[in-house]
Structure 1
Amino acid sequence: MRALVEPGPPLTDAEAARYARHLSLPGLGPLGQRRLRAARVLVVGAGGLGSPILAYLGAAGVGRLTVIDDDVVEESNLQRQVLHRAADLGRPKAESAADAVRRLDPAARVTPVVGRLTADNAAALFADHDLVLDGADNFATRYLVADAGELTGTPVVWGTIDRYAGQVSVFWPGEGPLLRDLYPEQPDPDSVPSCAAGGVLGALVGLVGSTMAVEALKVLAGVGEPAVGRLLLIDALAARTRELAFAPDPDRTPATALAEVGAACPATAAPAPEPAPAAVGATALAAELAGPAAPVVVDVRDPGERAELPIPPARPVPLATILVEGWAALAGLPGCAGDRPAPVVLACRSGARSARALAALAADPATPAAAAPRVLAGGALAWAAGPGAG
């Protein structure tokens, strides 16, 4: 596959000494290193994936790096976001990461952008760079990156992690399929647990991020076979990797505009809309709980998520149990026994999973009419922002 970047000027003696181990690599050599020195690379995210990406691209001699991130360094980041130190707590991640790259190479040209990638700035940022690496931690930004890459013709090296598993691919417009050919629709942000709730193996982000850096160097220098049209699947627990080939979807509508990013992650979700007939708002639920006919609140999240953002009146029943057992999963709860149980309110983090539980109960003939299941509109986020605040 063609090299993405034209070679820059000959290497200086200092550069030749610094990158000597690259210069002796078949296929890379001085010409490939000159391509790297001429490259302009944008890294979205300075967290778990961004840390190894920035470290290895900076050390490899990529000519100009830009990193965009709107978050600050927190103590829980230090388990896996290895560019940051305890002394960086509270600092913008983009600035902390840029300083770390400069510690590796004082001559590195790295620009931190403290802010979020949006529909307003994405096209201009992409157009100013040869390659983008997507180290975002949320679905909305990943799909914005994918659409901006397609619109501007900018290749994207993409990676994602989930607990003990990771995925990597390269989406190169004009050379192979793109993210929406593989995953056509953006999932609901509540469809998977957050890193805080589900956890993530710290060393795994190093493995996935380093793999992304390797793919970036291959694309920039024109060496090897990039993962275009291939999804690399990494299972850290089983110590196995496998590959899934995929092709462009001939029926997919190409991206023609950038939509504004929605909630970057469930923790920053917008306020819930007015409750539908089968839903109840947080304030109204608090009033019902204080009344004579209090409903039974059922939390369908995993234990770690419930501990992270609790709804104190709720009783735990996992979504998977409700999907399999229907009403029988709730029938043993206090207030739910008999033919005339108390009303039931289902809750999750923001409402997506509780809606699935509601559909399962509605489809079960054993669900008593008196239970009249509803969902908590906005889920635990709405509860925390209202009755559970403070």
Structure 2
Amino acid sequence: MPNQRYSRQMQMPQVGELGQQRLQQAKVLVVGAGGLAASLLPILAASGVGYLRLYDADRVELSNLHRQILFRMSDIGEYKVLAARQHLQQLNPEVHVDAIPQHIDSTTLQAALVDIDIVVDAADRFATTYLLSDACHAGKIPLISASVLTEQGYVGGFCGTTAPSYRALFPELPHQAASCQSAGVLASSVATLASLQAHMVLNVLLQAKKSALGQLLRLDLATWHISSMRFDQLPEPEESHMWLDRAQLGANDLILELRDPSEIASPITGAIYVKLDTLPVQVTSQRVVCVCKSGIRAAKAAKILKQRGFPTVYILAD
């Protein structure tokens, strides 16, 4: 007798018993437990995805609650991943939730990817997205990435065995970027993008005939405009920005700090404060690391330094 919990979706020919087994056997890594994850995680858990591994080091704050609708007032101060695990297990105790209160970086990524079938990028942070894309492309693991701000956003399927990487579609960082804190975001926009992101995850896990991998959707909910494109044949970039995190810094690195001191919570020892118009001109064989908060100023600096002949230039978003 079919499981009554999933009976409505198992009636669909693209799901059935075989599809439900695929979902129950799936192992999903979700990076970030904020706005996108708070809406997509209940969908994945309710659908019967058997294993969810969550990474996020942030705690629930009052300002989160308008859009991170998985959480409650009683969760304030708690690690998001731990609160999420509690609520998801109440929703569906058949789903195993592994909650790791750490951020994903180069030192934690390999452990996070062990035995994972698909990665969900819900971090909404450039450095994390490129890091995940590089690892998923190398390991042929599907990556579903989304981003949302104000009433706009996108969601796409990358990597795996068939699709180009995030770098192939976005080889360059944007010239500027805002955040939910600076520009704001509507809860309905977050939930809409998160639902589409969850649908792409289910599409890949169910091995649908028309795959979400190689597909990008853009939404502007202020104008009711939705566009889609396939990018299956995009080539991988021959050269692209290389990312580091603090744990990878070396004693001989030339560290160029592009943030103002007022922006920095924890200064990097030995860093030299520069602006885009005061970057070094004398080429050195040292590895150069350009630092800023989002990676955008650092990417601009890295491009200038490469044009000047610096052989090894990295970006650190901190």
TM-score (structure 1 length as normaliser):
0.63
Aligned counterpart, 2:312: none
Structure 1 residue 274 corresponds to structure 2 residue 273:
yes
The structure with the largest alpha-carbon Rg is 1
Residue 158 of structure 2 corresponds to: 171
How far residue 249 of structure 1 moved from its aligned partner, in angstroms, is: 4.2
1:136-155 superposed Cα distances (whole Å, 9 cap, x missing partner): 12111111111111122110
Deviation by residue 1:329-369 (Cα, 9 ceiling, x = unmatched): xxxxxxxxxxxxxxxxxxxx99978xx9xxxxxxxxxxxxx
The aligned amino acid for 1:83 is: L
Pick aligned residue for 1:71 from 40, 58, 69: 58
- Residue 49 of structure 1 aligns to a residue whose secondary structure is helix
Structure-2 residue corresponding to 1:146: 133
Q: Which position in structure 1 is the counterpart of 2:121?
A: 134
> For each residue in 1:72-121, what CA deviation from the matched residue of structure 2 results, as whole angstroms up to 9, or x when unmatched?
10111001001111110011111011111012112321010100101122
User: Aligned match of 1:239 in 224, 233, 244?
Assistant: 224
Deviates more, 1:267-276 or 1:66-75: 267-276
Alignment match, 1:112 = 99
Pick the structure with more strand per residue: 2
Between the aligned partners of 2:13 and 2:141, the Cα distance in structure 1 is: 27
Give 2:42's match in structure 1, choosing from 36, 50, 55: 55
Q: Find the aligned partners of 1:139 and 1:276 in 2 and give their Cα distance.
A: 21
Rounded Cα–Cα distance in structure 2 between residues aligned with 1:62 and 1:277: 47
| Structure 1 match to 2:196 | 211
Is the CA contact 2:125–2:294 (under 8 Å) kept in the aligned structure 1?
Answer: no
Query: 2: CA distance between counterparts of 1:261 and 1:54?
Result: 30
CA RMSD of aligned residues (A): 3.0
Partner of 1:381: none
- The answer as to whether partners of 1:39 and 1:64 remain within 8 angstroms in 2 is yes
Q: Which residue number in structure 2 is paired with residue 227 of structure 1?
A: 212
CA distance in 2, matches of 1:229, 1:350: 26
Q: 1:186 to 1:261 in 2, by over 3 A?
A: farther
Provide the secondary structure at the position in 2 that maps to 1:27: coil
Query: Structure 1 residue 223: deviation in Å?
Result: 2.2
1:235–1:104 CA distance, 2 compared to 1 (3 A): same
| Structure 2 equivalent of residue 185 of structure 1 | 172
User: What is the identity, as a one-letter code, of the residue corresponding to 1:30?
Assistant: E
The TM-score normalised by the length of structure 2 is 0.76
- 1:1-390 matches, within 5 Å, as 13=1, 16-187=3-174, 191-250=176-235, 252-253=237-238, 259-260=244-245, 271=267, 273-275=272-274
* Deviation of 1:194 (Å): 1.8
How many residue pairs were aligned?
A: 269
Q: Deviation at 1:37? A: 0.4
Give identity over the alignment, percent. 35
CA contact (8 A) 1:53 1:213 kept: yes
Cα separation, partners in 2 of 1:171 and 1:130, compared to 1, 3 Å:
same
**CA separation in 2, counterparts of 1:213 and 1:350?**
26
Stretch moving more, 132-141 or 120-129:
120-129
Q: Tell me, yes or no, if the aligned pair for 1:140 and 1:261 is still in contact at 8 Å.
A: no
Gaps of 5+ in 2: 248-256, 279-292, 301-318
Q: Residues 1-34 of structure 1, C-alpha deviation per residue, up to 9 Å, x if partnerless?
A: xxxxxxxxxxxx5x61111011100211111001
Is 267-276 or 119-128 further displaced after alignment? Answer: 267-276
1:342 matched to which residue of 2? none
SS at match of 2:228: strand
Distance 1:213 1:235, change over 3 A: same
User: What are the Cα deviations for residues 307-327 of structure 1, in whole angstroms up to 9, with x where unaligned?
Assistant: xxxxxxxxxxxxxxxxxxxxx
Cα pair distance change 1:35/1:91, threshold 3 Å: same
Q: CA deviation at 1:185?
A: 3.0
Structure-2 separation of matches of 1:220 and 1:32: 8
- C-alpha change, 1:16 and 1:196, in structure 2 (3 Å) is same
Distance 1:209 1:253 in 2: 32
- Amino acid aligned to 1:234: L
